[in-house]
């Protein structure tokens, strides 16, 4: 065996990051790069949130107890 176990975590929430989010991030950085190169004025407005279903409840731990 590789020395890892899949354990349930109760209080630690780890956001999921799927391929869709990675693709959206790449598109965002490409568009931001284009805007910056044209000298556009950029306004940042922070509105952070996540859905309850976008978190992991179990993660892999090594046999030494080390994880994430």
Whole-number pLDDT of residue 32: 94
Q: How far apart are CA 55 and CA 15, in angstroms?
A: 4
Whole-number pLDDT of residue 35: 95
Distance from CA of residue 10 to its chain's centroid?
Answer: 19
Q: At which residue do the structure tokens 């000298």 appear?
A: 39
Whole-number pLDDT of residue 63: 75
Q: Can you give the pTM of this predicted structure?
A: 0.45
Structure tokens at 7: 């354990």
Whole-number pLDDT of residue 61: 73
Residue by residue, pLDDT tens for the chain (68 residues) are: 577 777 776 666 666 667 888 888 899 999 999 999 999 998 877 666 666 666 666 677 777 766 55
SS3 of residue 13 by DSSP: coil
Closest alpha carbon to 68 in 13, 30, 1: 13
């Amino acid at each position: 065996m590789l020395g890892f176990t899949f354990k349930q975590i109760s209080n630690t929430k780890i956001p999921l990051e799927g391929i869709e989010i990675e693709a959206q991030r790449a598109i965002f950085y490409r568009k931001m790069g284009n805007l910056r190169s044209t000298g556009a004025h950029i306004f940042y407005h922070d509105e952070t949130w996540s859905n309850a279903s976008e978190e992991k409840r179990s993660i892999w731990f090594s046999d030494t107890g080390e994880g994430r």
